[in-house]
Amino acid sequence: MRQAQGAYRVIVVDVLEGKLALARRLGADITLNPGQDDVIEAVKDLTNGLGADVVVEAAGTAESFNTASEIINTTQVRVLQLGHHPVTLNISRWHDDGLEFINTCLVHHTWQQRYVWCPEALRPVARLVEVRPLITDEFRLDDIKAGF
């Protein structure tokens, strides 16, 4: 996947060892657990102090948002946000370095916008990511509450 998208190195950060193992199986080059690793220092070391070119923030916690802000390469300045919880941010880094914040939360758009944006957003996933190992459970539509 990363070669098709032009990534040199993929670093995955998670607090759950099962997710880190899955990330390694799917091709992550390096996995870090913030409970055991100093993620900011590790990313700086791995990138010769430059930081990551792209950061995908998917947990939605204050810690993950602020870590994403610290590990991004200030010449690239793109943070893609997937997670969503009320958080307190160190917004000065975003202001001082001109970080670009990309919000992918499609649920706040109209159904017409979702109809247009969802296929476009998911097309690379469908083509490049082995999705089956990411599916942990399946539910009948009648059991949608249990699924959530």
Percent of the chain with pLDDT over 90: 26
Alpha helices in the chain (DSSP H): 2-5, 17-25, 39-46, 62-71, 91-97, 111-128, 144-147
Q: Mean pLDDT, to the nearest integer, of 56-67? A: 83
Find all residues with CB under 8 Å of 62, minimum gap 6, and list them: 87, 88, 89
State the pLDDT confidence band at 136, using cuts at 50, 70 and 90. confident
Q: Report the interhelical angle of 39-46 vs 62-71 (nearest 10°).
A: 20
Q: Above 80 in pLDDT, residue 3?
A: no
Q: Above 70 in pLDDT, residue 126?
A: no
Q: How many residues does the chain have?
A: 148
Q: What pLDDT does residue 122 have? A: 67
The answer to whether 27 touches 20, Cβ cutoff 8 Å, is: no
Q: What pLDDT does residue 40 have? A: 95
Find all residues with CB under 8 Å of 6, minimum gap 6, and list them: none
Q: Above 90 in pLDDT, residue 31?
A: yes
pTM recorded for the entire structure = 0.67
State the pLDDT confidence band at 65, using cuts at 50, 70 and 90. confident
Q: What pLDDT does residue 96 have? A: 76
Q: Mean pLDDT, to the nearest integer, of 117-143? A: 76
